[in-house]
A and B are shown apart, each in its own frame.
Chain A
Amino acid sequence: MASEPTFLTERPREGPEEDLERDLHTEHQILNMGPSHPATHGTVKFTVELDGETVVDLDVAVGYLHRGFEKECESGTWYQAIPYTDRLNYNSSILANVGYCMAVEKLLGLETPKRCQWLRVLASELARLADHLTRCGAACLEMQAMTPFIYGIEARELVWDLCEMLCGARLTSNYVRIGGVKHGLPKEFSRICRANLEKIRVLLADFDSVVTQNRIFVDRLKGTGILSKEDCIRYSLTGPLLRAAGVPLDVRKAEPYLVYDQIDFDVPIGEVGDNYDRYLVCVEEMQQSLRIVEQCLERLEDLGDGPVNVDDPRVRWPAKGRVFNHMEELIQQFKAVTEGPRVPAGEGYLAIESANGELGFYLVSDGSAVPYKVRCRPPSLINLAPLPLMVRGSLLADIIPTFDFVNMIGGECDR
């Protein structure tokens, strides 16, 4: 005969005093976030150690998008590396084009024509604008705010329309050449650009009115992800993250390249270095980029028609009309396409200010037509390294906005 069933509630309990005194067993929880998490844009894996909802520690695993950028560059000509640089930071590919080509020009000792330099600045600032719009828009999206994301993306579409006019492509621009650019401004570009800038200003104002004073947004950004000025410098942070902590360091001002010394623009800085300061710095940088683009348009109109490529047979091809009618130019074109330029032996490092910070290229040449070493200093990777320091002790939900404003771009971080 079966024994009488005993219900849990009927089992003898321990005394109430003991119940209160007993230490409840608790342990830290390990949570895996990623590598493909809907609230992180970028393929990255966090292993989060949680005490309740508080982050005790965080391990970041990168490399999911590693394509062997440096190895591929070492097997083609100097020219063949340019399309690879498009795929570093795919939000602002022109900036990587500019950085790489300027580094090669440094080794070659080339000085590009004025018109080319203004065009490069124009294209760079459009790319920076697109990058910041993505960062701020996507940050809102990941904090469940769909509307500002749409405003940001609409503005980015306007920027990409301009990029398409200028380069023929929206994302993979491939616009800059060693010693020049692909071509000058297309017809009607100035008019359409000015019209689009006005539309972007309106969208930015809309974005600002929905987001900047929004209670939810401010609560989630203010005081989260703080990194002090000293820590930023120890961790080699650059770009908006460093400036949000109050260090007015911008490569465009510190070591002016191209024609940035002739342009009137300001470098915004923050105070405490939290996510809200980072957001404000990005918003202000977009306004400054709009100013720079307008100045570039004016200057390019003043400069009129002129060469956009350096007149150097080592790197630029002869005019098509001459190639088809003259033997020497045909041979030169053939050699330039099949072999590519030879870069004198040596080494050089060149840094530009990309949307994420200092984007540097360290090139080593052995005198041949193939790069010996192409090192890209990726701001995304270096900016991501102190993420555990930024979120330790804060809530799990704070990882999302902090990671958004670090703006790690997988293509550039993992190369």
Chain B
Amino acid sequence: MGDRSSSGLEDHGSTALRRLVEALPEALESSHAQHGDVTVRVTAGRIQDVLRFLRDDADCEFEMLSDLTAVDYLGETPRFEVVYHLYSVTKNQRVRIKARVPEEPCEIATACDLWPSANWLEREVWDLYGIRFQGHPDLRRLLLYEEFEGHPLRKDYPKERRQPLVGPRN
């Protein structure tokens, strides 16, 4: 829903986005700067390249993965969107990277080898949305228990659904 307002690859006055357009134009799909938040949508297959570039490039220096989450756009294809919020401590700037993930296969490459903070955040997204992160060292559920059936933040998971009783394990 965020991308409908604008399309194309303007840099919206952001140095990071300009550098990204120069370096990896084929990986980028669209961009916008709604409410002042610079946002780029990238091809899911190139997510690691884009994130690595943004972390390592001298003009970008996004050393911090502030947040990682997902949104379920049920009814659209591809269905899911993984959202990365990056922050540069030295340059005090933010950028939002998004990548669309289809329902099948529901997977995207991990960012754990770029930022260790991605470990728990990706576990949470797997737990609540069922998106697999390829190459994640330890993809277990984070907030819910292993016997939980389904992924509750998916839009087709009814809020009232009851879970089967888990008996004692011996």
Please report which residues of chain A, range 357-389, place their CB below 8 angstroms from some CB of chain B when the two chains form the complex. 358, 360, 362, 364-367, 372-373, 375, 377, 381-382, 385-386
A255 adjacent to chain B (CB < 8 Å): yes
B153, A71: Cβ atoms closer than 8 Å: yes
CB distance from B13 to the nearest CB of A (A): 16
Given A236-B64, A236-B65, A247-B89, CB of A346 within 8 Å of CB of B5 = yes
B142, A63: Cβ atoms closer than 8 Å: yes
CB distance from A150 to the nearest CB of B (A): 35
Given A236-B115, A249-B89, A347-B37, CB of A62 within 8 Å of CB of B65 = no
Residues of B within 8 A of A236 (CB): 64-66, 115, 117
Given A71-B152, A377-B67, A381-B120, CB of A255 within 8 Å of CB of B85 = no
Please report which residues of chain A, range 338-369, place their CB below 8 angstroms from some CB of chain B when the two chains form the complex. 345-349, 351, 358, 360, 362, 364-367
Residues of A within 8 A of B142 (CB): 62-63
A235, B117: Cβ atoms closer than 8 Å: yes
Residues of A within 8 A of B65 (CB): 236
Digitize B37-68: 1 where CB-to-A-CB distance is under 8 Å, 0 elsewhere: 10100000000000000000000000111110
B119, A385: Cβ atoms closer than 8 Å: yes
B117, A382: Cβ atoms closer than 8 Å: yes
How many residues of chain A get a CB closer than 8 Å to chain B's CBs? 42
Q: Cα distance A381–B128 when bound, in Å?
A: 15
Q: Pick the contact of A347 from B1, B67, B115, B152 — CB < 8 Å?
A: B1
B92, A234: Cβ atoms closer than 8 Å: no
Given A109-B35, A360-B66, A375-B67, CB of A234 within 8 Å of CB of B5 = no
B71 adjacent to chain A (CB < 8 Å): yes
Please name the residue on chain B nearest to A367 by beta carbon: B1
Q: Cα distance A63–B128 when bound, in Å?
A: 12
B116 adjacent to chain A (CB < 8 Å): yes
Digitize B70-102: 1 where CB-to-A-CB distance is under 8 Å, 0 elsewhere: 010000000000010100010010101000000
Residues of A within 8 A of B92 (CB): 254-255
Please report which residues of chain B, range 120-170, place their CB below 8 angstroms from some CB of chain A when the two chains form the complex. 120-121, 124, 128, 141-145, 152-153, 157, 159
Please report which residues of chain A, range 262-294, place their CB below 8 angstroms from some CB of chain B when the two chains form the complex. none
CB distance from A268 to the nearest CB of B (A): 17
Q: Pick the contact of A234 from B35, B71, B94, B116 — CB < 8 Å?
A: B116
CB distance from B64 to the nearest CB of A (A): 5
Q: Cα distance A385–B120 when bound, in Å?
A: 7
Given A107-B35, A254-B92, CB of A346 within 8 Å of CB of B1 = yes
Q: Pick the contact of A362 from B5, B85, B121, B159 — CB < 8 Å?
A: B85
Q: Cα distance A348–B89 when bound, in Å?
A: 20
B69, A375: Cβ atoms closer than 8 Å: yes
Please name the residue on chain A nearest to B98 by beta carbon: A347
B115, A348: Cβ atoms closer than 8 Å: no
CB distance from A244 to the nearest CB of B (A): 15
Q: Cα distance A373–B67 when bound, in Å?
A: 15
CB distance from B128 to the nearest CB of A (A): 8
Residues of A within 8 A of B117 (CB): 234-236, 382, 385
CB distance from A343 to the nearest CB of B (A): 11
**Could you give 20 example pairs across A and B, Cβ below 8 Å?**
A63-B143, A70-B153, A72-B159, A75-B159, A109-B35, A233-B64, A234-B115, A347-B34, A348-B37, A349-B37, A349-B96, A375-B67, A377-B85, A381-B124, A382-B117, A382-B120, A382-B121, A385-B117, A385-B119, A414-B143
User: Chain A residues in contact with chain B, CB under 8 A?
Assistant: 62-63, 66, 68, 70-72, 75, 106-107, 109, 233-236, 247, 249, 254-255, 345-349, 351, 358, 360, 362, 364-367, 372-373, 375, 377, 381-382, 385-386, 414-415
Q: Which 5 residue pairs are nearest across A and B when measured between Cβ atoms?
A: A63-B143, A236-B117, A347-B2, A377-B67, A66-B143
User: Chain B residues in contact with chain A, CB under 8 A?
Assistant: 1-2, 4-5, 34-35, 37, 39, 63-67, 69, 71, 83, 85, 89, 92, 94, 96, 115-117, 119-121, 124, 128, 141-145, 152-153, 157, 159
Identify 18 new A-B residue pairs, CB closer than 8 A, beyond the known A345-B5, A385-B120.
A70-B128, A71-B152, A71-B157, A75-B159, A109-B35, A233-B89, A235-B116, A247-B89, A254-B92, A347-B1, A347-B2, A349-B67, A349-B94, A362-B69, A372-B71, A373-B71, A381-B124, A386-B116
